[in-house]
Structure 1
Amino acid sequence: MVIEYIRYRVPQERLDGFEAAYERAAVALRAAPQCVDYELSRCLDDPATYVLRIRWTSVDEHLRGFRGGPVFGRFFAAIRPYVEDIEEMRHYRPTGISGSGGAAPPSLYEWAGGVDAFGRLCAAFYRLVRSDDLLAPIFARMDPAHAHHVAMWLAEVFGGPATYTAERGGYRHMLGQHLGRAISEAQRRRWVNLMMDAADEVGLPDDPEFRAAFTGYLEWGTRLAVRNSQPGADPIRQAPVPRWGWGVAPPYQEGPRPAGTRGAE
């Protein structure tokens, strides 16, 4: 992912039509497969100044894919009168230095109760698993520390510290626990149901917003695990641990791949 910033300083006589022009141009951005998202902001201190932020899948996809593609003509036609007003147009790559401030809502991890809450959740869950006729055989030879490791994973997914990545190898290690296991849909559903039962048992927050996000991840993650576990599956192997937010499923983008590997489409 790369971010393009375009800074405009628009003369007073053309200001009235600028935002309308970008409303038209945005139709092309929404249709462009190379564009992840965009945002136009206006300066409060100097209302003649605008900054357009566009997140592209890559520099090459922007410069070759978008500009050489079928929708660029519509985009450029809309903003052509303002090209001469551009003061800066550059690509930036995020540094990884980011975070939430005090005004931000708590993470799902914080709302759940932190690492202790996920520890209790997984302890209760695997106690239920051991007496379940469908899932008990799968976990018959479970590592005694397995529940702790899954708690670390869930804590990281829901916004906690990246302990699973640091100590267990992140997504690639978790993926390896599922490859070739041919998990069935019935097993997946039972896993989700028992995890929800465990959440009730240990008293995870039951407000609709938290439970919707919590259940959303369980559905997303288990469906991905079923797909990746089937014979002949060729899943993405280099990817970050997903970071789940309030009501928003993260776009799951793979990380760099070793030469010669291929991920699932």
Structure 2
Amino acid sequence: MTIEYIRYRVGAGRAAAFEAAYARAATPLGESPHCVDYELARCVEDPGDYILRITWTSVNDHLEGFRGSPEFGRFLAEIREYVPDIQEMRHYEPTSVAGPAGPPTLYEWAGGRSALLRLTETFYRTVLEDELLEPVFRGMDPAHPRHVADWLGEVFGGPPAYSGHRGGHRHMIGRHLGRAITEQQRRRWVSLLLDAADEAGLPADPEFRAAFAGYLEWGSRLAVVFSRPGAEVDVEEPMPRWDWTMPPWKDPASGG
């Protein structure tokens, strides 16, 4: 693994636009098989200063793989304006000096955006063939599976791609207003998504599936509430964040 650090000085007056640009750029960055993870941090003492940390599979994968890919073009298009604000950009490799790592996010445990995209593409192929759910999704935007993968990724601790591209929780609530989703449709939606998780190869350990199923139950029941005719909802609610209900599973055979 190689860690790249990029230090920016954009100024406090441009900070909001800079963060919004990187929220959009997070989607192509997360789609790259060469990108392991990333984080944009803001300086406390000087709020216009930022450090972007990206973990790559290797230096060569970054310089040759990512920069030669279509994802790089989309990434650069979002942040090109801020390239002159880069103060330093270097690659580093980890040493043996490190503290204990925290548990992975559900996003990381699931396999990142590629795994969630497999899930949503599998699921939405299924719903269009389902008698109960097809009327709900008839005329669906072809990009809808990608948008839902971004939503799930952000909810499960991944990059804020949905907020950056679609407007966050406000937009998701708006997509359900007045749709009058029935309890039968909700149950079928949950059931087919659980089946899609199996087909897409998401982790099958009890702890992950408990957290995953818990979110589906919680989120789908809220969707039913939001969809009722005349429902009064708070569109300013923040994006939900979902985490482990139990610690991540450890294989007893590994001695962990």
The structural deviation recorded for 1:102 is 5.4
Counterpart of 1:197 in structure 2 is 195
TM-score after normalising by structure 2: 0.57
Structure of higher CA gyration radius: 1
The structural deviation recorded for 1:103 is 1.6
Counterpart of 2:236 in structure 1 is 238
The CA deviation string for residues 20-74 of structure 1, in whole angstroms up to 9 with x for no partner, is xxxxxxxxxxxxxxxxxxxxxxxxxxxxxxxxxxxxxxxxxxxxxxxxxxxxxxx
The CA deviation string for residues 128-150 of structure 1, in whole angstroms up to 9 with x for no partner, is 10110000111111011011101
Counterpart of 2:173 in structure 1 is 175
State the AA in 1 paired with 2:238.
P
1-structure distance, mates of 2:245, 2:222: 18
Name the SS for the 2:239 alignment partner. Answer: coil
2-structure distance, mates of 1:144, 1:202: 19
1-structure distance, mates of 2:137, 2:163: 23
Distance verdict in 2 for CA 1:164–1:133, change over 3 Å: same
State the AA in 2 paired with 1:105.
P
Corresponding residue to 2:159 among 158, 161, 176: 161
State the AA in 2 paired with 1:167.
H
State the AA in 2 paired with 1:147.
P
Counterpart of 2:208 in structure 1 is 210
State the AA in 2 paired with 1:133.
E
Query: Which of structures 1 and 2 has the larger relative contact order (alpha carbons within 8 angstroms, sep 6+)?
Result: 2
State the AA in 2 paired with 1:242.
P
RMSD: 1.7
Name the SS for the 2:136 alignment partner. Answer: coil
Distance verdict in 2 for CA 1:102–1:122, change over 3 Å: farther
Corresponding residue to 1:125 among 123, 126, 129: 123
State the AA in 2 paired with 1:245.
D
The structural deviation recorded for 1:154 is 0.4
Counterpart of 2:149 in structure 1 is 151
The structural deviation recorded for 1:240 is 1.3
Corresponding residue to 2:186 among 182, 188, 191: 188
Counterpart of 2:54 in structure 1 is none
1-structure distance, mates of 2:190, 2:145: 15
Distance verdict in 2 for CA 1:176–1:104, change over 3 Å: same
- Count how many residue pairs are aligned between Structure 1 and Structure 2: 150
Structure 2 residues not aligned, in runs of 5+: 1-46, 51-98, 247-256
Structure 1 residues not aligned, in runs of 5+: 1-94, 249-265
2-structure distance, mates of 1:187, 1:193: 10
2-structure distance, mates of 1:212, 1:124: 20
Name the SS for the 1:138 alignment partner. Answer: helix
Name the SS for the 2:134 alignment partner. Answer: coil
Q: Which protein is richer in helix relative to its size? A: 2
2-structure distance, mates of 1:190, 1:176: 22
Moved over 2 A (4+): none
TM-score after normalising by structure 1: 0.55
List aligned pairs for 1:57-96, cutoff 5 A. none
